[in-house]
Amino acid sequence: MWYFVSPEIAYGEDALSCLDELGGKRAFIVTDKQIVSIGFAAQVKEHLSRAGIDCQVYDEVEPEPSIETIKKGAEVVRIYEPDWIVGLGGGSVMDAAKAMWVLYERPDIEPAEINPFAPLGLRKKARLITIPTTSGTGSDSNWGLVLTDTSEQRKLAVGCREAHADIAIIDPVFVIGMPPQLTADTGMDALTHALEGFTSGWKNDFCDGLCLKAIQLVFQYLPRAYHNGQDEEAREKMHNAASIAGLGFGNSMAGLAHSAGHSLGAVFHIPHGRTVGLFLPYTIEFTANIAANHYAEIAHLLKLEHTGVENAAFSLAQAVRQLAQSINQPLTIKDLGISRDGFENSLSKLVSNADMDTQTVTSARVPTTEEFERLFRYAYDGKPVDF
Protein backbone atom coordinates (compact mmCIF):
# COMPACT_ATOMS: atom_id res chain seq x y z
CA MET A 1 0.00 0.00 0.00
CA TRP A 2 1.12 3.55 -0.68
CA TYR A 3 -0.49 6.98 -0.80
CA PHE A 4 -0.75 9.92 -3.16
CA VAL A 5 -0.56 13.20 -1.26
CA SER A 6 -1.06 16.72 -2.49
CA PRO A 7 -1.61 20.15 -1.00
CA GLU A 8 -4.62 22.19 -1.98
CA ILE A 9 -3.24 24.15 -4.93
CA ALA A 10 -4.20 27.75 -5.73
CA TYR A 11 -2.81 28.55 -9.19
CA GLY A 12 -2.90 31.10 -11.97
CA GLU A 13 -3.17 34.87 -11.98
CA ASP A 14 -3.97 36.39 -8.59
CA ALA A 15 -3.69 33.04 -6.79
CA LEU A 16 -2.08 34.90 -3.88
CA SER A 17 -5.43 36.44 -2.99
CA CYS A 18 -6.50 33.06 -1.58
CA LEU A 19 -4.67 34.27 1.56
CA ASP A 20 -7.30 36.98 2.09
CA GLU A 21 -9.76 34.35 3.37
CA LEU A 22 -7.35 32.42 5.60
CA GLY A 23 -8.30 31.71 9.22
CA GLY A 24 -5.77 31.93 12.03
CA LYS A 25 -3.84 34.41 14.20
CA ARG A 26 -0.12 34.37 13.46
CA ALA A 27 1.93 33.48 10.38
CA PHE A 28 5.67 32.91 10.42
CA ILE A 29 7.08 33.73 6.97
CA VAL A 30 10.30 31.90 6.18
CA THR A 31 12.20 33.55 3.34
CA ASP A 32 15.54 35.12 2.39
CA LYS A 33 16.89 38.66 2.17
CA GLN A 34 16.63 38.79 -1.62
CA ILE A 35 12.90 37.98 -1.54
CA VAL A 36 12.35 40.65 1.12
CA SER A 37 14.32 43.25 -0.88
CA ILE A 38 12.20 42.81 -4.01
CA GLY A 39 9.01 43.30 -2.01
CA PHE A 40 7.54 39.78 -2.18
CA ALA A 41 7.38 39.34 1.60
CA ALA A 42 5.52 42.65 1.89
CA GLN A 43 3.02 41.46 -0.74
CA VAL A 44 2.32 38.29 1.22
CA LYS A 45 2.03 40.24 4.49
CA GLU A 46 -0.45 42.59 2.88
CA HIS A 47 -2.73 39.70 1.90
CA LEU A 48 -2.41 38.05 5.33
CA SER A 49 -3.25 41.32 7.07
CA ARG A 50 -6.53 41.42 5.10
CA ALA A 51 -7.34 38.12 6.81
CA GLY A 52 -6.46 39.67 10.21
CA ILE A 53 -3.31 37.56 10.59
CA ASP A 54 -0.15 38.97 12.22
CA CYS A 55 3.18 38.09 10.64
CA GLN A 56 6.79 37.65 11.56
CA VAL A 57 9.27 37.54 8.69
CA TYR A 58 12.37 35.37 9.11
CA ASP A 59 14.82 36.08 6.27
CA GLU A 60 17.93 34.23 7.46
CA VAL A 61 17.73 31.26 5.07
CA GLU A 62 20.84 30.79 2.91
CA PRO A 63 20.95 28.86 -0.39
CA GLU A 64 21.21 25.09 0.29
CA PRO A 65 20.27 25.61 3.96
CA SER A 66 22.33 24.00 6.68
CA ILE A 67 21.00 22.03 9.64
CA GLU A 68 22.30 24.80 11.94
CA THR A 69 20.13 27.37 10.12
CA ILE A 70 17.09 25.13 10.53
CA LYS A 71 17.66 24.67 14.25
CA LYS A 72 18.20 28.40 14.77
CA GLY A 73 15.01 29.20 12.86
CA ALA A 74 13.00 26.59 14.75
CA GLU A 75 13.94 28.33 18.02
CA VAL A 76 12.49 31.60 16.71
CA VAL A 77 9.32 29.82 15.57
CA ARG A 78 8.85 28.35 19.06
CA ILE A 79 8.97 31.82 20.63
CA TYR A 80 6.47 33.28 18.12
CA GLU A 81 4.03 30.31 18.31
CA PRO A 82 2.42 30.73 14.87
CA ASP A 83 -0.51 28.72 13.56
CA TRP A 84 0.77 29.08 9.99
CA ILE A 85 4.28 28.65 8.61
CA VAL A 86 4.73 30.18 5.16
CA GLY A 87 7.67 29.18 2.96
CA LEU A 88 8.14 32.02 0.45
CA GLY A 89 11.01 31.56 -1.99
CA GLY A 90 12.89 28.93 -3.95
CA GLY A 91 13.47 25.32 -2.96
CA SER A 92 15.98 26.16 -0.26
CA VAL A 93 13.54 28.45 1.50
CA MET A 94 10.56 26.09 1.20
CA ASP A 95 12.65 23.14 2.42
CA ALA A 96 13.84 25.27 5.34
CA ALA A 97 10.23 26.22 6.15
CA LYS A 98 9.21 22.55 6.12
CA ALA A 99 12.12 21.56 8.35
CA MET A 100 11.50 24.41 10.83
CA TRP A 101 7.84 23.45 10.92
CA VAL A 102 8.73 19.81 11.67
CA LEU A 103 11.11 20.86 14.48
CA TYR A 104 8.51 23.29 15.86
CA GLU A 105 5.98 20.46 16.02
CA ARG A 106 8.52 17.86 17.10
CA PRO A 107 11.34 19.46 19.14
CA ASP A 108 12.36 15.96 20.22
CA ILE A 109 13.72 14.88 16.82
CA GLU A 110 16.74 15.65 14.63
CA PRO A 111 16.25 16.54 10.93
CA ALA A 112 18.10 13.35 9.91
CA GLU A 113 15.43 11.28 11.69
CA ILE A 114 12.66 12.44 9.30
CA ASN A 115 11.77 9.44 7.13
CA PRO A 116 8.81 8.11 5.14
CA PHE A 117 8.14 5.26 7.55
CA ALA A 118 7.86 7.08 10.91
CA PRO A 119 4.68 9.13 11.50
CA LEU A 120 5.47 12.59 12.89
CA GLY A 121 2.02 13.71 14.07
CA LEU A 122 2.32 17.15 12.46
CA ARG A 123 -0.36 19.90 12.38
CA LYS A 124 -0.92 20.00 16.14
CA LYS A 125 0.54 23.53 16.34
CA ALA A 126 0.60 24.93 12.81
CA ARG A 127 -0.04 24.28 9.14
CA LEU A 128 2.16 25.00 6.15
CA ILE A 129 1.77 27.24 3.09
CA THR A 130 4.31 27.16 0.27
CA ILE A 131 4.71 29.98 -2.24
CA PRO A 132 7.40 29.25 -4.85
CA THR A 133 9.25 32.17 -6.43
CA THR A 134 11.14 29.96 -8.91
CA SER A 135 9.79 27.36 -11.34
CA GLY A 136 11.57 24.10 -10.70
CA THR A 137 12.06 22.73 -7.25
CA GLY A 138 8.61 21.22 -6.70
CA SER A 139 9.14 21.57 -2.97
CA ASP A 140 5.86 23.51 -2.86
CA SER A 141 3.85 20.43 -3.81
CA ASN A 142 5.77 17.48 -2.37
CA TRP A 143 6.88 16.13 0.99
CA GLY A 144 10.60 15.87 0.47
CA LEU A 145 13.22 18.24 1.82
CA VAL A 146 16.92 18.62 1.18
CA LEU A 147 19.23 20.11 3.80
CA THR A 148 23.01 20.42 3.88
CA ASP A 149 25.14 18.75 6.50
CA THR A 150 28.06 21.20 6.35
CA SER A 151 30.31 19.18 8.65
CA GLU A 152 30.00 16.11 6.41
CA GLN A 153 29.93 18.11 3.13
CA ARG A 154 26.86 16.24 1.98
CA LYS A 155 23.19 16.73 1.26
CA LEU A 156 20.59 15.24 3.52
CA ALA A 157 17.55 14.33 1.43
CA VAL A 158 14.74 13.34 3.79
CA GLY A 159 10.96 13.30 3.76
CA CYS A 160 7.75 12.19 5.37
CA ARG A 161 4.40 12.22 3.65
CA GLU A 162 2.91 14.43 6.38
CA ALA A 163 5.47 17.12 5.54
CA HIS A 164 3.63 18.54 2.55
CA ALA A 165 2.06 21.98 2.45
CA ASP A 166 -1.61 22.39 3.28
CA ILE A 167 -1.85 25.09 0.62
CA ALA A 168 0.55 25.67 -2.29
CA ILE A 169 0.16 28.99 -4.09
CA ILE A 170 1.40 28.80 -7.69
CA ASP A 171 1.12 32.44 -8.73
CA PRO A 172 3.11 33.47 -11.84
CA VAL A 173 3.49 37.01 -10.49
CA PHE A 174 6.49 35.76 -8.51
CA VAL A 175 8.46 34.44 -11.50
CA ILE A 176 7.95 37.02 -14.23
CA GLY A 177 11.17 38.81 -13.23
CA MET A 178 13.28 35.69 -12.65
CA PRO A 179 16.78 36.10 -14.20
CA PRO A 180 17.65 33.83 -17.17
CA GLN A 181 20.27 31.74 -15.33
CA LEU A 182 17.87 30.97 -12.49
CA THR A 183 15.15 30.20 -15.04
CA ALA A 184 17.49 27.73 -16.76
CA ASP A 185 18.73 26.05 -13.56
CA THR A 186 15.31 25.62 -12.02
CA GLY A 187 13.68 24.64 -15.33
CA MET A 188 16.19 21.81 -15.79
CA ASP A 189 15.42 20.71 -12.23
CA ALA A 190 11.71 20.49 -13.09
CA LEU A 191 12.52 18.42 -16.17
CA THR A 192 14.73 16.09 -14.12
CA HIS A 193 11.96 15.61 -11.55
CA ALA A 194 9.42 14.73 -14.20
CA LEU A 195 11.72 12.42 -16.11
CA GLU A 196 13.03 10.61 -13.06
CA GLY A 197 9.54 10.42 -11.54
CA PHE A 198 8.39 8.64 -14.69
CA THR A 199 11.24 6.13 -14.67
CA SER A 200 12.11 5.56 -11.00
CA GLY A 201 11.70 2.19 -9.34
CA TRP A 202 8.67 3.61 -7.51
CA LYS A 203 6.85 4.97 -10.57
CA ASN A 204 3.10 4.43 -10.42
CA ASP A 205 -0.18 5.05 -12.23
CA PHE A 206 -1.02 8.13 -10.16
CA CYS A 207 2.19 9.94 -11.08
CA ASP A 208 2.82 8.92 -14.68
CA GLY A 209 0.39 11.36 -16.29
CA LEU A 210 1.66 14.25 -14.19
CA CYS A 211 5.28 13.52 -15.08
CA LEU A 212 4.54 13.23 -18.80
CA LYS A 213 2.59 16.49 -18.86
CA ALA A 214 5.40 18.28 -17.04
CA ILE A 215 8.03 16.92 -19.48
CA GLN A 216 5.98 18.18 -22.41
CA LEU A 217 5.48 21.62 -20.85
CA VAL A 218 9.19 22.05 -20.06
CA PHE A 219 10.33 21.14 -23.58
CA GLN A 220 7.75 23.53 -25.01
CA TYR A 221 8.05 26.51 -22.70
CA LEU A 222 11.46 26.56 -20.99
CA PRO A 223 13.37 28.02 -23.98
CA ARG A 224 10.69 30.72 -24.32
CA ALA A 225 10.79 31.59 -20.62
CA TYR A 226 14.60 31.70 -20.74
CA HIS A 227 14.94 33.87 -23.84
CA ASN A 228 12.06 36.20 -23.03
CA GLY A 229 11.34 36.42 -19.32
CA GLN A 230 8.36 38.68 -19.98
CA ASP A 231 6.55 35.94 -21.93
CA GLU A 232 3.63 35.58 -19.52
CA GLU A 233 2.26 32.40 -21.05
CA ALA A 234 5.65 30.65 -20.91
CA ARG A 235 6.18 31.81 -17.31
CA GLU A 236 2.80 30.53 -16.17
CA LYS A 237 3.21 27.20 -17.99
CA MET A 238 6.69 26.68 -16.49
CA HIS A 239 5.40 27.57 -13.03
CA ASN A 240 2.63 24.99 -13.41
CA ALA A 241 5.04 22.44 -14.90
CA ALA A 242 7.37 22.71 -11.92
CA SER A 243 4.58 22.12 -9.45
CA ILE A 244 3.06 19.28 -11.50
CA ALA A 245 6.49 17.63 -11.71
CA GLY A 246 6.84 18.14 -7.94
CA LEU A 247 3.63 16.21 -7.37
CA GLY A 248 4.68 13.56 -9.87
CA PHE A 249 8.14 12.75 -8.59
CA GLY A 250 7.15 13.58 -5.01
CA ASN A 251 4.72 10.67 -5.06
CA SER A 252 7.08 8.34 -6.89
CA MET A 253 10.75 9.26 -6.46
CA ALA A 254 13.71 10.74 -8.26
CA GLY A 255 16.80 8.82 -9.36
CA LEU A 256 20.48 8.93 -10.17
CA ALA A 257 20.65 12.42 -11.69
CA HIS A 258 19.55 13.59 -8.25
CA SER A 259 21.97 11.47 -6.24
CA ALA A 260 24.91 12.41 -8.49
CA GLY A 261 23.74 16.04 -8.63
CA HIS A 262 23.36 16.31 -4.85
CA SER A 263 26.85 14.91 -4.47
CA LEU A 264 28.53 17.24 -6.96
CA GLY A 265 26.60 20.24 -5.63
CA ALA A 266 27.63 19.61 -2.03
CA VAL A 267 31.34 19.17 -2.85
CA PHE A 268 31.73 21.99 -5.41
CA HIS A 269 28.91 24.33 -4.28
CA ILE A 270 26.94 24.42 -7.51
CA PRO A 271 23.19 25.16 -7.67
CA HIS A 272 20.94 22.10 -7.48
CA GLY A 273 19.16 22.46 -10.83
CA ARG A 274 22.40 22.96 -12.74
CA THR A 275 23.94 19.77 -11.37
CA VAL A 276 20.92 17.48 -11.72
CA GLY A 277 20.21 18.78 -15.22
CA LEU A 278 23.83 18.15 -16.15
CA PHE A 279 23.67 14.51 -15.06
CA LEU A 280 20.25 13.80 -16.58
CA PRO A 281 21.34 12.70 -20.09
CA TYR A 282 24.13 10.53 -18.65
CA THR A 283 21.82 8.78 -16.21
CA ILE A 284 19.20 8.26 -18.95
CA GLU A 285 21.89 6.44 -20.91
CA PHE A 286 23.00 4.47 -17.86
CA THR A 287 19.45 3.22 -17.26
CA ALA A 288 18.59 2.92 -20.99
CA ASN A 289 18.21 -0.84 -21.06
CA ILE A 290 16.34 -1.19 -17.78
CA ALA A 291 13.77 1.53 -18.46
CA ALA A 292 13.71 1.26 -22.28
CA ASN A 293 9.92 1.18 -22.57
CA HIS A 294 9.46 4.19 -20.34
CA TYR A 295 11.97 6.23 -22.31
CA ALA A 296 10.27 5.14 -25.54
CA GLU A 297 6.98 6.48 -24.20
CA ILE A 298 8.59 9.85 -23.50
CA ALA A 299 10.31 9.89 -26.90
CA HIS A 300 6.95 9.15 -28.52
CA LEU A 301 5.29 11.98 -26.59
CA LEU A 302 7.99 14.42 -27.70
CA LYS A 303 7.86 13.09 -31.27
CA LEU A 304 11.58 12.31 -31.23
CA GLU A 305 13.01 10.35 -34.12
CA HIS A 306 14.49 7.04 -33.06
CA THR A 307 15.00 3.57 -34.43
CA GLY A 308 13.17 1.25 -32.07
CA VAL A 309 12.48 1.05 -28.36
CA GLU A 310 16.06 0.17 -27.46
CA ASN A 311 17.37 3.42 -28.97
CA ALA A 312 14.70 5.77 -27.66
CA ALA A 313 16.66 6.55 -24.47
CA PHE A 314 19.63 7.75 -26.51
CA SER A 315 17.42 10.03 -28.65
CA LEU A 316 15.90 11.37 -25.46
CA ALA A 317 19.32 11.97 -23.89
CA GLN A 318 20.30 13.91 -27.01
CA ALA A 319 17.08 15.95 -26.87
CA VAL A 320 17.84 16.83 -23.23
CA ARG A 321 21.37 17.94 -24.24
CA GLN A 322 19.94 20.08 -27.04
CA LEU A 323 17.44 21.66 -24.69
CA ALA A 324 20.23 22.39 -22.16
CA GLN A 325 22.42 23.84 -24.90
CA SER A 326 19.60 26.07 -26.15
CA ILE A 327 19.46 27.70 -22.72
CA ASN A 328 23.25 27.87 -22.28
CA GLN A 329 23.52 25.21 -19.58
CA PRO A 330 26.76 23.24 -19.09
CA LEU A 331 26.85 19.74 -20.60
CA THR A 332 29.82 18.39 -18.64
CA ILE A 333 31.43 18.81 -15.23
CA LYS A 334 34.42 20.29 -17.06
CA ASP A 335 32.11 22.99 -18.46
CA LEU A 336 31.47 24.03 -14.84
CA GLY A 337 35.12 25.10 -14.64
CA ILE A 338 36.19 22.19 -12.41
CA SER A 339 39.76 21.09 -13.17
CA ARG A 340 40.60 17.46 -13.91
CA ASP A 341 42.80 17.35 -10.78
CA GLY A 342 40.11 18.86 -8.58
CA PHE A 343 37.63 16.36 -9.95
CA GLU A 344 39.90 13.31 -9.57
CA ASN A 345 40.86 14.33 -6.02
CA SER A 346 37.17 14.47 -5.08
CA LEU A 347 36.01 11.40 -7.01
CA SER A 348 35.87 9.00 -4.07
CA LYS A 349 33.91 11.55 -2.02
CA LEU A 350 31.58 12.16 -4.98
CA VAL A 351 30.94 8.44 -5.37
CA SER A 352 30.41 7.73 -1.67
CA ASN A 353 28.02 10.71 -1.32
CA ALA A 354 26.02 9.57 -4.33
CA ASP A 355 26.01 5.99 -3.12
CA MET A 356 24.54 7.04 0.25
CA ASP A 357 21.95 9.39 -1.28
CA THR A 358 18.34 8.32 -0.74
CA GLN A 359 17.54 8.80 -4.44
CA THR A 360 19.96 6.05 -5.46
CA VAL A 361 17.90 3.14 -4.15
CA THR A 362 14.84 4.23 -6.13
CA SER A 363 16.71 4.47 -9.43
CA ALA A 364 15.71 2.09 -12.20
CA ARG A 365 19.28 0.73 -12.01
CA VAL A 366 21.42 0.98 -8.87
CA PRO A 367 25.12 1.39 -9.77
CA THR A 368 28.01 -0.39 -8.12
CA THR A 369 30.88 1.79 -6.84
CA GLU A 370 32.82 1.16 -10.08
CA GLU A 371 29.78 2.03 -12.20
CA PHE A 372 29.29 5.26 -10.25
CA GLU A 373 32.93 6.13 -10.91
CA ARG A 374 32.48 5.52 -14.64
CA LEU A 375 29.28 7.58 -14.62
CA PHE A 376 31.06 10.54 -12.98
CA ARG A 377 34.04 10.23 -15.36
CA TYR A 378 31.70 10.17 -18.35
CA ALA A 379 29.95 13.29 -17.06
CA TYR A 380 33.30 14.98 -16.49
CA ASP A 381 34.20 15.34 -20.16
CA GLY A 382 31.44 13.61 -22.12
CA LYS A 383 33.81 10.98 -23.52
CA PRO A 384 31.65 7.84 -23.82
CA VAL A 385 32.37 4.95 -21.48
CA ASP A 386 31.24 1.36 -21.48
CA PHE A 387 28.57 1.00 -18.82
Q: Read off the amino acid at residue 245.
A: A
Question: Who contacts 235 (Cβ-Cβ below 8 Å, separation ≥6)?
Answer: 135, 172, 175, 176, 178, 225, 229
Nearest CB to Zn ion, comparing residues 105 and 189: 189
Please give the C-alpha separations between residue 332 and each of 77, 122, 278, 322, in angstroms, as whole numbers: 41, 42, 6, 13
Nearest CB to Zn ion, comparing residues 31 and 275: 275
Where b means 16+ CB within 10 Å and e means fewer, 164-180 reads: bbebbbbbbbbbeebee
Shortest distance, position 194 Cβ to Zn ion, whole Å:
10
Shortest distance, position 272 Cβ to Zn ion, whole Å:
6
Region of 60-68, 156-164, 184-192, 198-206 interacting with Zn ion (CB under 5 A):
184-192
Nearest CB to Zn ion, comparing residues 161 and 274: 274
Nearest CB to Zn ion, comparing residues 27 and 160: 160
Nearest CB to Zn ion, comparing residues 43 and 359: 359
Which residue sits closest to Zn ion, CB atoms considered?
189
Region of 23-31, 187-195, 225-233, 369-377 interacting with Zn ion (CB under 5 A):
187-195
Question: Who contacts 314 (Cβ-Cβ below 8 Å, separation ≥6)?
Answer: 285, 288, 306
Nearest CB to Zn ion, comparing residues 175 and 312: 175
Q: Determine the size of the site formed for Zn ion (CB under 5 A).
A: 1
Shortest distance, position 108 Cβ to Zn ion, whole Å:
29
Nearest CB to Zn ion, comparing residues 55 and 364: 364
Mask of contacts with Zn ion, 188-207, x by CB under 5 A? -x------------------
Region of 147-155, 156-164, 185-193, 282-290 interacting with Zn ion (CB under 5 A):
185-193
Shortest distance, position 136 Cβ to Zn ion, whole Å:
7
285 binds Zn ion (CB under 5 A): no
Shortest distance, position 273 Cβ to Zn ion, whole Å:
7
Q: Give dist(CA 36, CA 57) in Å, integer.
A: 9
Cβ–Cβ < 8 Å for 61, 96: yes
Shortest distance, position 144 Cβ to Zn ion, whole Å:
9
Shortest distance, position 18 Cβ to Zn ion, whole Å:
26
SS3 80: helix
Indicate the length of the chain as a whole number. Answer: 387
Identify the H or E element spanning 199.
helix 180-199
Query: How many CB atoms are located within 10 Å of the residue 307 CB?
Result: 9
Region of 13-21, 72-80, 186-194, 234-242 interacting with Zn ion (CB under 5 A):
186-194
Task: Please compute Rg for the chain using Cα positions.
Answer: 20
SS3 158: strand
Query: Where does this chain bind Zn ion (CB under 5 A)?
Result: 189
